[in-house]
Amino acid sequence: MTYSSVLKSNESYLQEKGKIVEILKIQSEALLAIHEFLYQEGLLQMMPVIVSPVTDPLCHPVYKATITYLNQKLQLTKSMALHKQVAISTLGVKGIYIVSPNVRLEKDVQSDNHLLEFSQLDIELKDTSAHEFMSFMEDLVIYIFAKVQDRCEKELKELRAHIKIPRKPFRVHSSWDLRREFGEEFGSRISQREDDLFWITDFEREFYDKEDEVRRGHYHNYDLYYPEGYGEALSGGERDYKYEIIVRKLKERNHRFEEFTPYLELAKADMIGPSAGGGLGVERLVRFLTKRSHIKEITLFPKVPGERIFM
Ligand code: ASN
């Protein structure tokens, strides 16, 4: 490979190189604000899980990222949803969080908002309802935005990015109403129309998101969205934790039980309890704060679905 072809293959990053220091400064302040807020709220930080025999199955197609160690098959973490749920059930604490690296080898995603490798701020709160978790996240987002606005005036000016501090409570839309109005692409369509952060609730999704016991097919889950077309910020939900319900939902989604053995054993032993949580994409947050047109501009070594990886 020649020098110029290396430059070409990594052009997008190099074009933005002049701004990467400002972007990283804003990211550092945003992460500092996150740690401050969660510390004040009494949450404890866990270190990330990178490989495990069990991970989040997700609800969209990705290639398997599996490695073998001593004849044991391990997967790279797609999200720590199941680990968070087990951890919060085991520990006698109010909440936990992780700045968690995830690998998702996307099959057919074409968007300006996806990376194969990214980090999410994963949070899980014990004995918490969907409504309570959403309110907690609104306070956190307002805190982050205010701190970044305060501490990064120079960098925001340089990036021509303006931060508007959202007000509580954020607007809430049901996915059912939006699908009727906009069709299947409702998330990106409504994100273009809104001018402040908002929630979309009640999606048919992963088995661990809580299904309403009376209104089957309705879920106590939520996505937080950015306005102005910046798309999804967070996804999460209140959790199902009873063994029989988990088994039924795994079957309904055609999942193989062997892939969830330790999780199922814990659920069968009644060692998983009620909680709610979610994951806020770190790169997506920084992209919104810095108003970049593509998420690859946020990271020094971007991994864009469908593109060759430089480093
Ligand atoms: N982090 C999300 C959650 O807590 C799950 C995900 O990323 N798929 O529900």
Which alpha helices (DSSP H) does the chain contain, by range?
3-9, 11-15, 17-40, 81-90, 130-151, 153-158, 175-182, 186-193, 243-252, 261-268, 282-290
44-53, 91-100, 103-112, 276-285, range with the lowest pLDDT: 103-112
User: What is the whole-number distance in angstroms between the Cα of residue 272 and the centre of ligand 1?
Assistant: 17
Asked whether 79 lines ligand 1 (CB < 6 A), one says yes
Tokens linked to 280: 């806020």
Tokens linked to 267: 């659920």
| Rama region for 259: left / alpha / beta (φ>0; ψ in -120 to 50; rest) | alpha
Is there a contact between 302 and 12 (Cβ–Cβ < 8 Å)? yes
User: What is the whole-number distance in angstroms between the Cα of residue 14 and the centre of ligand 1?
Assistant: 32
pTM listed for this prediction: 0.95
Average model confidence (pLDDT) for the chain? 94
Enumerate domains of the chain plus CATH numbers: 3-298 (3.30.930.10)
Which residue of 59, 79, 102 sits with most ligand 1 atoms within 8 Å of its CB, as the best mutation to test the pocket? 79
Which residue of 224, 235, 285 sits with most ligand 1 atoms within 8 Å of its CB, as the best mutation to test the pocket? 235
The confidence score (pLDDT) of residue 110 equals 84
Q: How confident is the model at residue 108 (pLDDT cuts 50, 70, 90)?
A: confident
What digits encode the pLDDT tens for the residues 142-201? 999 999 999 999 999 999 999 999 999 999 999 999 999 999 999 999 999 999 999 999
The confidence score (pLDDT) of residue 12 equals 53
Asked whether 175 lines ligand 1 (CB < 6 A), one says no
Neighbours of 21 (CB within 10 A): 11
The confidence score (pLDDT) of residue 251 equals 98
**Residue 227 and residue 95: Cα distance in Å, rounded?**
28
What digits encode the pLDDT tens for the residues 223-267? 999 999 999 999 999 999 999 999 999 999 999 999 999 999 999
User: What is the whole-number distance in angstroms between the Cα of residue 227 and the centre of ligand 1?
Assistant: 21
Q: What is the residue whose two structure tokens read 């972007």? A: 23
Mean pLDDT of 21-33: 97
Tokens linked to 54: 């069990």
Q: How confident is the model at residue 3 (pLDDT cuts 50, 70, 90)?
A: very low
Q: What is the DSSP letter of 258?
A: G
Which residue of 46, 54, 55, 56 sits with most ligand 1 atoms within 8 Å of its CB, as the best mutation to test the pocket? 56
Asked whether 77 lines ligand 1 (CB < 6 A), one says no
